Amino acid sequence: MREFRAAQGVTEHYTSLEALRAGWGLPELTKKRPKDEKVLQEKREKFLGTCRVCKKPLTLINGCNVLACQNPECKGVKMTSKNEEDGTEKVWFIPVTRVLDDKGFEIAQNLFD
């Protein structure tokens, strides 16, 4: 069996996939971003989506995993609650945001960096 072992002479020790990649002379991983500027723009728009109140596109907050509506005229989602005792109604607005998970953040970095 011994003579069939291709890795017998290998003495390098790798602690990460990046080190292994460099050690084996493989090319750097490139981002899977579309090269066509128009396609990239469409993908960005589709990824961001629109605000459900004012229908304007959401904005990616730099360095965060949050998309938010930055339209100054958009107050956000209207919330109401009625006080049962005195009958007064309380109204407040919640800003429109979307929190990205790990995968979504990865896509955002790929599309916007």
Q: Name the site residues for Zn ion (rule: CB under 5 A).
A: 51, 53-54, 69, 71, 74
Nearest approach in angstroms of CB 92 to Zn ion is 16
Q: Please identify, using beta-carbon distances, which residue of 59 and 110 lies nearer to Zn ion.
A: 59
Given a contact cutoff of 8 angstroms between Cβ atoms, the answer to whether 108 and 56 are in contact is no
Q: Please identify, using beta-carbon distances, which residue of 41 and 97 lies nearer to Zn ion.
A: 97
Q: Please identify, using beta-carbon distances, which residue of 67 and 69 lies nearer to Zn ion.
A: 69
Nearest approach in angstroms of CB 30 to Zn ion is 35
CA-CA distance, 39 to 43, in Å (whole number)? 6
User: What are the φ/ψ torsions at residue 79 (nearest 5 degrees)?
Assistant: -120, 140
Nearest approach in angstroms of CB 24 to Zn ion is 49
Nearest to 68 by CA among 84, 57, 55: 57
| Coil, helix or strand at residue 82 | strand
As beta bridge partners, residue 50 has 57
